[in-house]
Amino acid sequence: MRPIKFREPIVNRKGVFVDWHYWGVFDGCFIAPILYKNPHFQFTGFCDKEGQQIWEGDIMEYFTTYDKRITVVVEYEAGFMLPHGHIAPPTLKVIGNVYENPELLEDGKIK
């Protein structure tokens, strides 16, 4: 069973990202969220090819037979997926997320 973990962005009064607050079940203890107005991103239970945890809102890079692609991890019902469909985590690399690296997106969408 995958760990039940979430993170939420901590932003300053100007709405600029400062850090992450992690909450959920850690070592058998529940840690509660501290903020309720910000979105929460859930851990997918997977790691990328370099061992970095993959969370909702992460910006991923992967290669197809023909080219390099960038996409954002999204959540649906009871599982996680990428807008381009399911791709094996060993082929993925986390290159940022929608809060810390908005420059990787164009008008809130993938460049």
Report the distance separating Cα 42 and Cα 77, nearest Å: 12
Higher pLDDT, 109 or 6: 6
Confidence of residue 80 (pLDDT cuts 50, 70, 90): low
**Quick one: which of 45, 29, 36 has its CA closest to 9?**
36
Note the pLDDT of residue 65: 75
Note the pLDDT of residue 16: 85
